[in-house]
Amino acid sequence: MHDVLVIGAGTAGLTAAIYARRASKSVLVLEARGFGGQILNTPAIWNYPAEPGISGFDFAMKLYSQAETLGAEFAFGTASGFRAEDGGFTVPTADAEYRGRSLIIATGTSHRGLGLPGEEALTGRGVSFCATCDGALYKGRDVAVVGGGNTAVSDALYLSDLAATVWLIHRRDSFRADPADVALLGRKENIRLLLGTRVTGLVAEDKLSAVVLTGPEGRTSELPVAGLFIAVGMVPATGAFEGLLELDPSGYIVAGEDCRTSVPGVFAAGDGRTKDVRQLVTAAADGAVAATAAVRYVNSL
């Protein structure tokens, strides 16, 4: 049994591993896909202290290697929940069970879809949720980005260096992204804004060939594009924990700045908990707070 079992190897989970290892606790980090989490999708990070412009990939790799060098152990698997038993917590996956005296849930969020017919089938065939992963496939072609937050704006800026034209489609008249980034849109000649506009359909045979738009007056039109990058926000990846601890109506784990959940010994860190500011720096801060609390909890057993 490890002292601290961390679910999720994003910024919050890896930072928690660093803090718990530096407190000499044994740590296992369980990850479903790949190390780094959501930040892997960010082309360049401009708001993390002392690392201006670092790529999300480099940031994630540095963080992973720091945790690994300190002696954190890693396993792959998707947690399907947890059970409190024998003075600790058991986390089952499809292939194995992992045990921890304390548990830190840092599963973050996953991409929200538009809910359009064909969206799932076309993902990987013109529809993408990751500009840095798939942008190079659209070199010299026309693409669209949908959304009005930081992700949509930074995706549009990134894609403008690859694609012929980037249509940025947003349902409102103004963006909620950081004004400094919104200002950069105007400097890119090949970014075209379609405001007050929704994507209401996908046109495809084998691959995406166009999107259906519904404009401010309700008129519909087709916009030919080879790629559609969906950046309309995130939903908490906490479904496995429903009924096991308190979630808010949107599915976020109810936990304050101390990262304590409704179950003693279980802590929540990062974007998957209730909080006001979901940023890289607050995910890292949560990792530190949750690990410190978990170490105290283990010491008290």
> For ligand NAP, which residue of 1, 114, 184, 254 counts as binding (CB under 6 A)?
114
Choose the stretch contacting ligand NAP; rule: CB under 6 A; options: 18-26, 64-72, 86-94, 278-286: 278-286
Tokens of 277: 């500011």
Per CB under 6 A, does 232 bind ligand NAP?
A: yes
Q: Is 271 a catalytic residue?
A: no
> For ligand NAP, which residue of 58, 184, 278, 288 counts as binding (CB under 6 A)?
278
What is the rounded distance in angstroms from the CA atom of residue 256 to the CA atom of residue 83? 22
Q: Is 259 a catalytic residue?
A: no
Residue (4 or 280) nearer to ligand NAP, CB: 280
Per CB under 6 A, does 194 bind ligand NAP?
A: no
Per CB under 6 A, does 149 bind ligand NAP?
A: yes
Q: Say which of 58, 95, 130, 248 is annotated catalytic.
A: 130
Tokens of 17: 């591993």
Q: Is 258 a catalytic residue?
A: no
CB-based contact 135:158 (threshold 8 Å) = yes
> For ligand NAP, which residue of 1, 61, 137, 234 counts as binding (CB under 6 A)?
234
Residue of this chain nearest to ligand NAP (CB atom): 149
In whole angstroms, how large is the CA radius of gyration of the chain?
Answer: 21
Query: Which residues contact ligand NAP (rule: CB under 6 A)?
Result: 42, 45, 47, 114, 146-152, 154, 171-172, 176, 231-234, 278-280
Active site residues: 130, 133-134
